[in-house]
A = this chain, B = another copy of it.
Amino acid sequence: MNRVPVEKKVLNENQQIAEKLRARFRDNNVLCVNLISSPGAGKTSLLERTLQSMDRNTRVAVLTGDIQTENDADRLKRFGFPVRQITTGGTCHLDARMIEKGLEGWSLANLDILFIENVGNLVCPSSYDLGEEAKIVVLSTAEGEDKPLKYPSIFFKSELMILNKIDLLPYVSFNLEQARQNARRVHPEIEIVEVSCTTGNGLSQWLAWLNRRLAAHHLEPIEQVG
């Protein structure tokens, strides 16, 4: 049997919905970013740190994908921003239709940033456009510096690599310079920020990236708390 045409049809259908979402984000001046990583690389921790650092008047919302549990939404709701869990029930990635459904009832006109946290998977989510302005790949130092070469698609498609868990560098075999080189070999223009969601190191660089993106939308910079 021939699987390729079926896969193409699914992806084309996804692309059509993604383009509609992209137009809605553009019309409402919403910055939408799609966070992708392996399980446990720290997407939820990064969002916790990000939401924690924001003034509650910032117009931010989160759609967080998971196969089975609502744990991530429970972790993220504490910060007082709108958060919805998308439980895929076994599907290995978020698709555009899930995002469309996840947004139901939310007014995009009242939003500046939409964070999408994808299912923990470094492979499949890279094939599904969600209408986002930028994909962001999160890589943990515990995973090894070879990952951009082994999973090139997501590093090629991401505008930013967030290298997380730099606090573990003294305890893991991870060549930081080689990791940067590997990411740039796959994608020469990729931006890189290095953070620790445990210590908070480097997070200001990530927030600066977000603020540059907001500025491009002529939106107010994120107000940091404390």
Contacts and interface: CB of A to CB of B under 8 A. Distances in A.
B198 A173 contact: yes
Chain A binding surface SS class: loop
Interface in A126-176: 140, 142-144, 146-147, 149-153, 165, 167-168, 171-173
A172 B171 CA distance: 10
Oligomer copy total: 2
Nearest to A123: B92
B121 A40 contact: no
A40 B140 contact: yes
Contacts of A69: 146, 149-150
Contact of A68 (B9, B152, B167): B152
A165 to B, nearest CB: 7
A31 interface: no
Nearest to A88: B123
A194 interface: no
Nearest to A168: B171
Contacts of A171: 167-168, 171
Interface of A: 1, 3, 6, 9-10, 13, 38-41, 66-69, 71, 90, 92, 119-124, 140, 142-144, 146-147, 149-153, 165, 167-168, 171-173, 198
CB-CB nearest 8 A-B residue pairs: A40-B143, A142-B142, A92-B123, A38-B38, A38-B39, A40-B144, A39-B122, A171-B171
